[in-house]
Amino acid sequence: MKPTLDEIDNRILAMLMDNARMPVTSIAKLIGIARTTVIARIGNLEKRNVISGYGVRLNQGLLQPAVRAYVGLSIEARAADRLVKMMLEVPEVECLCAVSGAIDYMLTLRCANTEALDRLLDQIGTLDGVRQTSTSIILSKRIDRSMT
């Protein structure tokens, strides 16, 4: 059963998604409710697992230059579990999603440079059960609402 959220819950969530470290007093002032109410609501959202955790958003521009890419994988069904376990061991994998359509999985990779990306793509392409890969290098983010 999906949890029901009212307007106040949605406003709190929107503020926390923009800045998970926003002080409770600031949230309370912006919404116009008591600080203790915000604390109780956040606690309730956490308890109901609407808020499942908090994270860090990195400023990619300040980090070592990197090449990021989306990689679509078509695989043999028998290889799915093994592939997921193997990708857990690859530090360049930022995200692995099962998807519907012509491809089975979508990877997001972050490599130090194009040479490292090329080597990793060669390794992934030769894994047992991988039928085909399709890669698109990320040039820029125009909208980013994720935590990463």
Burial of 34 (0-12, 13-18, 19+ CB in 10 A): exposed
In this predicted structure, what is the pLDDT of residue 4? 86
Task: Assign 141 a pLDDT band (cuts: 50, 70, 90).
Answer: confident
In this predicted structure, what is the pLDDT of residue 142? 84
Q: Percentage of residues in the chain with pLDDT exceeding 90?
A: 73
Residue (of 127, 126, 134) closest to 105 by Cα position: 134
Q: Where are the domains of the chain?
A: 7-47, 67-137
Question: Are the CB atoms for 127 and 135 separated by under 8 Å?
Answer: no
pLDDT digits 0-9 by tens, 30-59: 999 999 999 999 999 999 999 998 877 766
Fold classification of 67-137 is: Alpha-Beta Plaits (3.30.70)
In this predicted structure, what is the pLDDT of residue 143? 80
Strand partners, 67: 111
pTM of the entire predicted model: 0.60
> What gap in Å lies between CA 106 and CA 99, rounded to an integer?
7
In terms of CATH architecture, what is 7-47? Orthogonal Bundle (1.10)
> What gap in Å lies between CA 134 and CA 109, rounded to an integer?
13
> What gap in Å lies between CA 80 and CA 95, rounded to an integer?
15
The residues, ordered by sequence, that sit 6+ positions from 145 with a Cβ below 8 Å of its Cβ are 17
